[in-house]
Chains A and B, each alone.
Chain A
Amino acid sequence: MNDTDRASKITAIIEAYPADRRFALAAMQDMQHEFNYIPEEGLVALADYLDCSKAHLYSMATFYKALSLTPKGEHIIKICNGTACHLRGSVNLATELKRILDIEPGQTSADGEFSVEYVNCLGSCALAPVMVVDGVYHNKLKVDQISGIVESYRTDDSKDVVSND
């Protein structure tokens, strides 16, 4: 994406809302969705538009877990760590992901392909433990299923690299 594209996308997102501070969270969520993070120029433009300080938006961006100031991976893996999933071994899922991707929950893989996050509860406790990849639920997971699921999300290029190894 070139700079002009990005700037026009930011403008489009921001101007979809009235210039009222109550829409700050919604506009930042849209940016997060579009860019996988909140670009600095997006935050600055939004502060101008809403006539509030950048610090105000920065405090929101660091407070809400749905927002991130650094780019997240292309695929987001959410491990549910609600009580039911915790009791049924969600920690083991995180350990297995660490083995495969070499990242802890909260981090993004070096190739930018995956982010792993712990989330509190995805509301599917009856199917614990649950992992959600890009919005798709994988339930009653066993540790030995994880690598197959992760590989199925890798882009074709990186799959080739893996098979050449």
Chain B
Amino acid sequence: MINGTDRILVCCGTSCIANGALDVADAIEKELTARGLADDVCVNVVRTGCSGECEQGPVVRFMPRDLMYYRVAVRDAKAIVDSLDGAPVKKLLHKRDGQFFEHMDDNPFYALQHKVVLKDVGIIDPLSLDDYISRGGYEGLKRALSMTPDEIISEVEKSGLRGKGGAGFPTGRKWRSAAGYDEWPKYIVCNGDEGDPGAFMDGSTMEGCPHAVIEGMVIGALAIGAEEGVLYIRDEYALARDHIQHAIDDAYAAGILGDSIMGTPHKLHLSIVRGGGAFVCGESTALMASIAGRVGEPRAKYIRSVQRGLFDKPTVLNNVETLASVPTILRFGGEEYAKLGAEKSKGTKVFAMVGKVKHTGLVEVPMGTTLRTLIYDIGGGIMNDRPFKAIQTGGPSGGCIPESLLDLPVDFDTLTEYGAMMGSGGMIVMDDRSCMVEVARYYVDFLCEES
């Protein structure tokens, strides 16, 4: 359990693992053992999910002292354990403009963020149901179980939550339509087929806090009356799939999933379908065709999935980030959530900011934050202080936004007015050396290949 104990958190998201995080975790564990501290419950190594600043990984954090270390190598294990009750290891601290930052919240990369979806990512052990519960996990579900489907849907409507996969369709309205059909079985589907190149928000969420996605699905299922759900997860996301499967197994064992949700007569069975590696399967009808065992081709849009979706039955399909926002909404109320964000785009949005920006990684900010804040205040500006040229948003079918529009707020509607779109949250920063013609050719090639 988290409360009152010291923890050493080693980020083990896909990127930090690629940077050697597992070896670092092992080295720290060995060092603790060598000093006879391993059995001391006060100090343990917790393999967390992505903490955001992927480029500076592996990232190691001490709690509750809240020391953040970056670019940690195996050889640093001794110095790190030394610093448990001593001075911080200076060379491993975050450094920006000649200043050192000891704590996560001092670091400008995090200070301007507001975490709702990612609030537990990087803090809890994603493989521990107890950790999730100790941070208020499944409180939203408990409250939902005391409500009628109509009340649950009203709460989501009040929150103003819109589909964060990019389309921005009001989630509450989608749930209400599906709940209105008197046809069974109904299905709830989680779209974890994050296919946009340059986007890894959903993958990191599934890796770092799988129970939040599952809790969102259970609440959605209660709202519409579904007893079966499917998570469709991209072929490339092996770690996300493992963590979700682990969380599903734990949720069954704890009586959160299965034939009696938390001792009530409600049922929900969840399973994972592994994607086949096709970009188009991120589209909702293609995705459902793929789950049904067909080629993933989209169908005409005049048939609505809420009426005839998976196996031609009423289906709600939500994106990972949307579902992971639901537990917070049910726990604290829709009105609380609606206090965050912009007028027509409530809450927060997670972005994967990559490319030629100094500090790359996952960023969660209130909707309506400007591109300039994202790139310069949080991201620290352009690599090597070169001139900014454009930021690409919205995936291959999105747009490239020039410097003159950097003060635009990022929400569902504003960027669309200017011919770009917010999309699912991939943001690729380009400097003066990036060739826009080449970028255009790359995206056209991509869409040709995937069409």
Contacts and interface: CB of A to CB of B under 8 A. Distances in A.
Interface of A: 20-26, 29, 50, 56, 59-60, 63-67, 81-84, 86-87, 119-128, 130, 135, 137-139
B236 A119 contact: yes
A65 B276 CA distance: 6
A81 B293 CA distance: 28
A63 B360 CA distance: 34
B392 A124 contact: no
B276 A83 contact: no
B293 A120 contact: no
Given A25-B293, A121-B236, A126-B55, A82 B198 contact: yes
B285 to A, nearest CB: 15
A64 B198 contact: no
A56 B235 CA distance: 21
Give 9 closest A-B pairs by Cβ, nearest first.
A64-B276, A126-B54, A82-B197, A137-B18, A65-B277, A123-B200, A125-B354, A83-B198, A66-B277
Nearest to A28: B276
Interface in B266-293: 273-279, 290-293
Interface in B328-377: 352, 354-356, 360-361
Nearest to A21: B293
A26 B241 CA distance: 14
Given A63-B278, A83-B428, A119-B236, A124 B198 contact: no
A23 B293 contact: yes
Interface of B: 14-15, 17-19, 53-55, 57, 194-200, 203-204, 235-238, 273-279, 290-296, 352, 354-356, 360-361, 392, 426, 428, 430, 434, 439, 442, 446, 450
A50 B294 CA distance: 13
A121 B355 contact: no
Given A22-B293, A66-B235, A126-B360, A86 B15 contact: no
B354 A84 contact: yes
B273 A26 contact: yes
Contacts of A23: 293
13 contacts: A20-B293, A63-B295, A64-B296, A67-B276, A82-B197, A83-B426, A84-B354, A121-B197, A123-B15, A123-B204, A124-B200, A125-B200, A126-B361
A137 B200 CA distance: 15
Interface centre among B53, B200, B426 (most CB of A within 10 A): B200
Given A120-B279, A121-B196, A22 B19 contact: no
A64 B278 contact: yes
Contacts of B204: 123
A126 B278 contact: no
Contacts of B355: 83-84, 87, 125
B391 to A, nearest CB: 11
B428 A87 contact: yes
A128 B296 CA distance: 29
Nearest to A60: B295
A22 B18 contact: no
Contact of A139 (B18, B53, B236): B18
A24 B200 contact: no
B294 A125 contact: no
A12 to B, nearest CB: 19
B396 to A, nearest CB: 8
Contact of B296 (A24, A63, A127): A63
A87 B361 CA distance: 16
A34 B84 CA distance: 46
A84 B428 contact: yes
Nearest to A84: B354
B203 A135 contact: no
Contacts of B296: 63-64
Nearest to B396: A83
Contacts of B278: 63-65
A21 B292 contact: yes
Nearest to A124: B15
B290 A127 contact: no
Contacts of B439: 83, 87
B199 A130 contact: no
B292 A83 contact: no
A16 to B, nearest CB: 14
A13 to B, nearest CB: 14
A50 B54 CA distance: 44
Contacts of A120: 195, 197, 236, 279, 446, 450
Contacts of A121: 195-200, 236
Contacts of B273: 25-26
A22 B292 contact: yes
